């Protein structure tokens, strides 16, 4: 019975990978499925694709409950390269960071908030009015970018 089942091994691995999204977990699930089928002596006529899929899915759910946390490897999905150490600022970047350090705390805070908040929301957060926030942002950008700020 296992010989016949193992003829479709790659199919079961694909099923398990679709469930778990992890190559190693998929192989473990298929091994567990073979053991369950062998130990429970399930009749051959019951071993349909759907039945196998349900066994794999239930085993995966049980493993999540037992482990509480599931570790997923991104190596199976992406070819990530850690080149953070190779990151170097050019002269322009160093200049911008130096100029940013020269801004007041309020200018820094308001400028950073402009990345994800509208000016009116920043004004409410800073407990000031919209016009003051507008001028803070304008002057901070002017300090950072100089005359380039006005070019389009």
Note the pTM of the prediction, 2 decimals: 0.45
pLDDT at 83: 55
CA–CA separation, 103 and 43 (whole Å): 76
One digit per residue, the tens of pLDDT, for the chain of length 152 reads 677 888 888 998 998 888 888 888 889 899 988 888 888 877 777 888 888 889 899 988 888 887 744 556 655 555 555 555 556 778 888 888 888 889 999 999 998 898 888 999 999 999 999 999 999 999 998 888 887 666 55
pLDDT at position 75 is 58
Q: Which of 65, 61, 58, 14 is nearest to 33 (CA)?
A: 58
Q: Could you state, in order of their start, the residue ranges of all structural domains in the chain? A: 2-76, 89-150
Burial 42-72 (b: 16+ CB within 10 A, else e): beeeeeeeeebbebbbebbeeeeeeeeeeee
pLDDT of residue 69: 46
- pLDDT number for residue 110: 92
- The Cα-based distances of 81 to 72, 78, 84, 85, 91 in angstroms read 17, 9, 9, 11, 25
Phi, psi (deg, nearest 5) at residue 82 = -90, 95
The domain over range 2-76 is classified in CATH as 1.10.1740: yes
């Amino acid at each position: 019975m296992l010989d016949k089942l193992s003829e479709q091994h790659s199919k079961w691995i694909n099923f398990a990978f679709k469930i778990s999204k992890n190559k190693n977990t998929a192989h473990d699930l298929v091994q567990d499925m073979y053991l369950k089928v062998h130990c429970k002596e399930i009749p051959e006529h019951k071993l349909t694709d759907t039945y196998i899929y349900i066994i794999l899915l239930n085993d995966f759910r049980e493993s999540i409950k037992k482990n509480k946390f599931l570790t997923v490897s991104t190596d199976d999905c992406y070819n990530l390269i850690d080149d953070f150490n190779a990151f170097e600022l050019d002269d322009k970047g160093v200049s911008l960071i130096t100029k940013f350090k020269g801004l007041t705390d309020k200018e820094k805070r308001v400028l950073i908030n402009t990345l994800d908040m509208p000016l009116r929301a920043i004004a409410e957060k800073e407990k000031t009015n919209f016009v003051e926030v507008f001028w803070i942002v304008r002057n901070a950008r002017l300090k950072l970018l100089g005359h380039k700020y006005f070019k389009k």
